[in-house]
Amino acid sequence: MGGGQQPMTSGQQQPTAGGQQPMSGGQQPSGQAMAGQEAQGRQSFENHLTNELRIALEDFTELSHIADWCAKMCASEGPQLATCAAICRDIAELAAFNEKLIARDSMFGPEVADTFVRIAEESLPELRQFQQHSHVAETIAAIDRTMDSCLTLLETVEGGRQMGGQQMGGQRMATQQPSGGRTRG
């Protein structure tokens, strides 16, 4: 018990000690100021996100972590899951890239999101062969969620292109068609 009281006593002495108080006091406000600036930046970033963007961003973030974890698990389980590991690694990187493009409001975001949907659709049959592994099943579920939110977001973006902003939207649609991208109309 005496040992428990001593740190408390020395803890009480630290704030009252002249040399230590300014140091800890100086660190706290700068840490708080940085946290405040970060929170303020995050708030303004989050304020410009639509609900569809926010959901897609969260899903891409979650998928990038789950798929990366799954790739590592597959790699550790032997060569029979090598293809599954490679697919999960690609999905994780695509999800992380989409996350970055959404975060910086890239004009190429819709094309990359469309590419994600196409690659995810192509990868699911292969992944489903290994869904008896819990990490693969969890990745499949995360891919499905992310594809749903991504398709909802793409529909919203494409709807916005048709209603206004034809200048940029027309350019994007023109670049999408030759690459085999999804077209609606």
Nearest to 123 by CA among 102, 101, 146, 103: 146
Instruction: Specify burial of residue 87 (Cβ count, 10 A radius: 0-12, 13-18, 19+).
Output: buried
pLDDT digits (tens, 9 = 90+) for 116-165: 999 999 999 999 999 999 999 999 999 999 999 999 999 988 876 655 44
- pLDDT tens, 39-69? 554 555 456 678 999 999 999 999 999 999 9
| C-alpha dist (Å) from residue 139 to 73, 79, 119 | 11, 19, 14
Span 49-176: which CATH code? 1.20.120
Residue by residue, DSSP assigns 55-68 as HHHHHHHHHHHHHH
pTM: 0.64
